[in-house]
Amino acid sequence: MVPVRAGCTAYLHDFDSKKNQIRDRVDIVDLVSEHVALKRRGSGWVGLCPFHSEKTPSFTVSPDRGTYKCFGCQKSGDVFSFVEQRENVPFMEAMRILADRAGVELGRSAASSATGSRRSDIAKVNEWCTGFFRSRLLHAEIGRDARAYVAGRNINDETAERFGVGLAAAGSDSGLVAAALRAGFDRAALEAADLLRRSEDGRVYETFRHRLMFPIRDATRRVIGFGGRTLGDDRAKYLNTRQNELFDKGRSLYGVDIARTRICEIGRAVVVEGYTDCIAAHQAGFTETVATLGTALTESHVDLLRRYCDEVILMFDSDDAGDAAADRAIRVALPRHLTVRLARIPDKKDPSDLLSEDGADAFSALLNEAEDALEFRWLKLTRRYCEDGSPGGRREAIREFLGDIVDACRTGAVDPIRRGLIVNQVAALVGIATADVHAVMNDLESRKARASVDRAGVAETRVRRPAVNAMQAAWTRVLEVLLDSPDVWQSDAPTPDTSGIADERDRRIAETLFGLLARGTGVTRSDVLAACPGSDGAQRVTELAETGGRRGNHAATLEVALEQIRSGARAQCIDKVMETEMKAWPTGPPSTDDDPRAVLQRIASGHRHFGPRRKIRQRMGVAGVAGTAGRTDGPGEPDESAKTQ
């Protein structure tokens, strides 16, 4: 065995200590609640899974164990694996994110292990830059005109402070780079965060200049990017951070960090288009408002909002925008079990204008009068096709409308109950029987399915999981029992040889588990999770422990499984012995005393267990054929067929 250096041992001990500190300080319910609306159920919490789209909550959080599990997609783990899976980052990056949250200093050694990922660095640069932009806005001279613009939009100082509104000063050098270098950041970090850009000729320049700045935060309040509204005559009225490791405007909603709590409380979100519209709505008391970042409603937006509420009201300001919003809402929201209503602002006003001119009551009335997206779309189609009142026009309207519904249902998982509700609603809208709606939709679905198969040319194939032999299944049961109830392990029991575990992940967990059990100081699931970094390991530990908890009868299950493992190990040992013995006679035995059948018989007699004896006797038949070729006599044991005759 290679000796472990004392310094390495000390580092590993410090690393585990940091992990345990983070796990103790980060409440898993608080962490998950930033992404999912949780409701208490017994001693745990339940909500919609943040990793896949679902209608019925199947995602559970256990604060006592510090774990989560989705019974729909089977993802599970602890706080570290949750951040890994949610943020799509490696373990060390998740550890850095949680360390910042918990106020735990990792130190240079731990932090340096997170090479290749810049997400935390970008977030830190963005957080610092938010303060820098804010200071520019509040500067007596530099920010005078920008503050006047903010006041002109009826945004008060308190609201501007809450949203972190700032200023990117005019000119080619606003002092941003120099201030960032003094703060310890380098130019590479500023470029990674898209605060600096390079022109085609290689010149580096500041991305945001002479713009009112709106920091964009995610649900965990990290600053993931910026939006800038021009204060001059720039043709690009709004400019957003480019997509990077941390920021994706198609997956982000402005104001979600502030609006999330209120959305969960009332089960509704209001979606507007602009930063100032969102800020004005919050200032007027509509704190469930968020804004898209210059994009239409996307599947990712719907998935994000669906975790907090079941109804969304989209606000738009023109007929064309209304048509586009309705089409998009039906396509992305209908199959995801999210009800979408559309509120059209009159006189081509935007929400902030409506609030400043007509007040909060008018805004509230508009929300209350919002139309269901399906109803809005149907009314538009009937106006287009049925102006002359002809039956043909109505048939075309119905067919196009149901085609929209079929397309929406085909893009997502719509269960039979949801489909029935949709059909009932559609039947009431178009004024025909539900059976007729079913018939038309089934016909359209069949045609679209045939067209898809024809284009694809091949059918989808099923992937079969490899079978698991008895010995591996026994190892799985051992891990299930000991991870759920490690106290059933006898402290004086010999540690089994884990090298026979085929699955590398399970073998690593077993080595960790038995190493902890050997200390004899008591083992908890958190101890195993702390020693098995990575979302994959944490998920597997949680799965095994959850199954063990449901299995029960731990002591008897463990005893039987260990005996199966020992028996399997003996059988493998016998295979090796027989292989060695058989190699001694490549062309037949030299004498009757060395007949392989006699040798194997002696081996069998040394085993008191039925399984190994049976396996040897099965192999003896093969040995007899190979070892006695051409012989008609000998002291070997007659084969089974001879005995029965």
pLDDT band at 125 (very low <50, low <70, confident <90, very high): very high
With both helix axes pointing from N to C terminus, report the angle between 319-333 and 373-385 in degrees, rounded to the nearest 10.
Answer: 120
349 versus 388: the higher-pLDDT residue is 349
When mean pLDDT is compared across 17-21, 114-118, 165-169, the lowest value belongs to 114-118
pLDDT of residue 464 exceeding 50: no
Backbone angles phi, psi at 41, to 5 degrees: -140, 105
pLDDT of residue 462 exceeding 60: no
Mean pLDDT of 442-447: 77
Mean of pLDDT over the chain: 78
In this prediction, residue 415 carries a pLDDT of 62
Q: Which two tokens stand for residue 194?
A: 């898209």
617 versus 347: the higher-pLDDT residue is 347
How far is it, in rounded angstroms, from Cα 354 to Cα 281? 10
Domain residues of the chain, as ranges?
Answer: 6-112, 119-247, 250-371, 386-453, 470-564, 584-639
Q: Determine what percent of the chain is predicted with pLDDT higher than 90.
A: 24
pLDDT of residue 4 exceeding 80: no
In this prediction, residue 278 carries a pLDDT of 96
In this prediction, residue 191 carries a pLDDT of 93
DSSP string, 385-442: H-TT--HHHHHHHHHHHHHHHHHHHHTS---HHHHHHHHHHHHHHHTS-HHHHHHHHH
Distances (CA, A) of 131 to 127, 163, 165, 168, 452: 7, 12, 10, 11, 52
How far is it, in rounded angstroms, from Cα 550 to Cα 553? 10
When mean pLDDT is compared across 38-52, 158-172, 383-397, the lowest value belongs to 383-397
419-434 residue pLDDT tens: 777 788 788 887 888 8
In this prediction, residue 16 carries a pLDDT of 73
Beta-carbon contacts of 512 under 8 Å, excluding residues fewer than 6 positions away, are 528, 531, 532
In this prediction, residue 3 carries a pLDDT of 46
In this prediction, residue 174 carries a pLDDT of 83
pLDDT of residue 76 exceeding 60: yes
Q: Is 107 left (phi over 0), alpha (psi -120 to 50) or beta?
A: left
In this prediction, residue 579 carries a pLDDT of 61
In this prediction, residue 523 carries a pLDDT of 73
Closest C-alpha among 473, 477, 478, 523 to residue 496: 478
How far is it, in rounded angstroms, from Cα 102 to Cα 107? 14
pLDDT of residue 485 exceeding 60: yes
324 versus 117: the higher-pLDDT residue is 324
H-helix or E-strand containing 216? strand 211-217
**β-pairing verdict for 59-62 and 67-70:** antiparallel
Angle subtended at Cα 128 by Cα 126 and Cα 132, rounded to the nearest 5 degrees: 110
SS3 assignment for 43-87: CEEEECCCCCCCCCCCEEEECCCCEEEECCCCCEECHHHHHHHHH
Mean pLDDT of 542-554: 76
In this prediction, residue 235 carries a pLDDT of 85
**119-247 is classed CATH 3.40.50.460:** no
Please state which CATH class domain 250-371 belongs to. alpha beta
279-312 residue pLDDT tens: 999 999 999 999 999 888 888 898 889 888 889 9
DSSP string, 288-350: TEEE-SSS---HHHHHHHHTT-SEEEEEESSHHHHHHHHHHHHHHHGGGT-EEEEEEPGGG--
With both helix axes pointing from N to C terminus, report the angle between 79-87 and 91-102 in degrees, rounded to the nearest 10.
Answer: 110
175-232 residue pLDDT tens: 899 999 999 999 999 999 999 999 888 889 999 999 999 999 998 889 999 999 999 8
The architecture of the domain spanning 6-112 is Alpha-Beta Complex (3.90)
In this prediction, residue 606 carries a pLDDT of 53
